[in-house]
Amino acid sequence: MLRIGIDVGGTHTDAVLLDGDRVLAETKALTSADVLFGILEALEAVLAGRPNIENEVEAVMLGTTQFTNAVVERRELAEVAAIRIGEPSGHGLVPKIGWPADIAACLGNESYAIGGGHLYDGSLLAELNDAEIDAVIADLRLKQVNAVSVSAAFSPADPSHEIAVGERVATALPNARVTLSHTLGRLGILERENAALLNTSLLDFADRVVSSFVDAVRQRGLTCRFFVSQNDGTLMDADFARQFPALTFASGPTNSLRGACKLSGLDDAVVIDIGGTTSDIGVLQNGFPRESNLVIEVGGVRTNFRMPDLLALGLGGGSLVEDKGATVGPLSVGHRLVSEGLVFGGKTLTATDVVVAAGAAQIGDVDAVSDLDPTTVKTARARIVEMLNQGVEKMKPSSDPLPVILVGGGSVLVTEKLVAASEMLRPEHAGVANAIGAAIAQIGGETERFVSYDATPRTEAISAATAEATEVAVTAGADRSTIRVADIEEIAMSYMAGNTTRLRVKVVGEIAGLVGSNRAPR
């Protein structure tokens, strides 16, 4: 089965053509202002010289930072009204509270707090009140609002109130775009509501972006299925991506780590991605990135998305070498390395220059660094190794050495084995690990709820949650026979009796065969 993975980053657009695990072609180009054109070019580059191959391509997977960038840059954001179902709790804590003023202004001031929602034990927080819902709908109609987010207390455990209000809104305002917060998972109503608001705000833009992606794929003569990668390393189809653009937030680092996993064949390893300015060190566990537990802000807004746990070191190919080699970075010439580095005819001593001077790499004009002070070269190289070693030591799960996978253009800086590494791998095609990560992504499903292990035995609760997550994944297009549990998270509820635990189960599976529909769940 042939697959194409495309990664549209802020700087580069990468693409790969995969036959199973084998990379048949790869390309890396600067991201064009016209994204559609850039994708067409990338597709052309990997398909060129392979006549009639279009019919053999079974899927195109795309990773994109477009939606993250829209939020960060405060553009393409539509106004959204928020309906919060949770009164009398949370009275006075209105939606969008705590947001930076500029992005709050983009989404406007309309918000409604109505009675309803559930408690931690599944009982009612309050009944839904028809008159209240009618009043909200009348006001939405009066103000001609056409984008709405709906959030309810404990909706990940019981979404019925969100669904009921969402249906009422959809019936009354058939053209309105609606996001129900429970579809974005995870407990934490403020963060989940923020995610739902941002998602709704991006829906029009998502329509345009996804349409142009699909157009690019179809224009190139590909009739296969099309997927977009999510922040957890799994995929959504085009229709789902139109509804859930926010799920692409932070998918870039995840794809990079997943690609490194595929390229090296290792499920447990440390991955160092060395660029021009920084080295990002991440950890693979069971083939997936270890996640950070810090609150993730997107464009200054708190969300409940998870990000890979990354340690960023100020060390890259363009890092400035100073103090006779004792200091390398964090200052860097960045992408101007190709004009400012000594080996490229520039005047700035960079990390790349010292590696070339030591004869450990052949880049640019080797003669330009032939008269560098050997002590400076030696000191700087030792410093580079020391910085990376310390970084790997910090990120490794234990003190046992672990394989280290080097990816990224700056990986030429590393010329010897790090003490912290059991072995060093530089897989081929590491420069396009992001696109490979997108191409190999699987379909996932997740459930999260509060359970009392006194009422339901633990094994029973986990298998019930797993069964439910499996259904979510199958509905999203996963092949049931390949589904496995990727993660089980249990968080005990402190200061409360009754053995209450927050249980989250995530499953992943391969994409089901081409036959049959692949509609979005929910």
Partner 1 sequence: MRLDEDVLDDLSLGSVFLATGGGGDPYVSLLATRQVLHANGPAEMIPVDELDDDAYVVTIGAVGAPSVSLELLPSVHDAEKALRAYEEHVGRSVDAVVSFEVGGGNSLIPIAAASACGIPVIDGDGMARALPEAQMMTYPISGISPTPALALDYAGNVMTFASETAEAYEHEIRAAAEAMGGMITAVEHPMSGAELKTSVMRGTISFSIELGQLLRERRGNAERLLAPLTDLFADSLYGQIFPLYTGKVVDYSSSVVAGFDQGQARLEPFDQDGPAMTIDIRNEFLVARMGGEVVASVPDLITMLDLETGTPINAERLRYGQRVAVYGVGCPEFYRQPKALAVVEPRCFGFDIDFVPIEDLRPGWLQR
Residues that bind partner 1 (CB under 8 A): 86, 88-93, 97-98, 117, 119-121, 125-126, 153-154, 187-190, 283, 290, 293-294, 309, 311, 390, 393-399, 453, 491-502
CA-closest candidate to residue 434, choices 195, 304, 300, 248: 248
Residue nearer to partner 1 on the CB measure, 123 or 370? 123
Q: Which residue number, 151 or 518, has a Cβ lying nearer to partner 1?
A: 151
In the complex, what is the shortest distance from the CB of residue 192 to partner 1, in angstroms, rounded to a whole number? Answer: 9
**214 vs 493 by CB, closer to partner 1:** 493
* Residue whose pair of structure tokens reads 């009675």 in the numeric block: 115
Cβ atoms of 503 and 484 within 8 Å: the answer is: no
Closer residue to partner 1, CB minimum distance, 33 or 495: 495
Q: Report in angstroms how near the CB of residue 312 gets to partner 1 at its nearest.
A: 9
Q: Alpha carbon of 396 to those of 279, 382, 488: distances in Å?
A: 15, 21, 21
Beta carbon of residue 259, minimum distance to partner 1 (angstroms, whole number) = 21
> Closest Cα to residue 277, out of 310, 311, 312, 315?
315
Residue 66 or residue 155: which is nearer to partner 1 going by CB? 155
Contact 97, 104 (CB under 8 A): no
Distance of CA 15 to the CA centre of its chain: 17
Minimum distance, C-beta of residue 302 to partner 1, in the bound complex (Å) = 8
Give least dist CB 289 to partner 1, A. Answer: 11
Residue among 371, 325, 323, 313 at smallest CA distance from 351: 325
> How far lies 281's CA from each of 309, 391, 413, in Å?
8, 7, 15
What's the closest the beta carbon of residue 325 comes to partner 1, in angstroms?
Answer: 23
Q: Are 247 and 235 in contact (CB under 8 A)?
A: no
With respect to partner 1, which residue has the nearer C-beta, 171 or 293? 293
Q: To the nearest whole angstrom, how small is the minimum distance from the Cβ of residue 398 to partner 1? A: 5
User: Which of 284, 295, 342 shows the shortest CA–CA distance to 318?
Assistant: 342
Nearer to partner 1, 278 or 500 (CB): 500
Contact 79, 96 (CB under 8 A): no
How many other CB atoms are found less than 10 A from the CB of residue 175?
8
Residue 327 Cβ, how far from partner 1 at the closest point, in Å? 17
CB of 3 or CB of 306, closer to partner 1 = 306
Using DSSP's 3-state secondary structure scheme, residue 473 falls into helix
47 close to 40: Cβ distance less than 8 angstroms: no
CA-only gyration radius of the chain, Å: 25
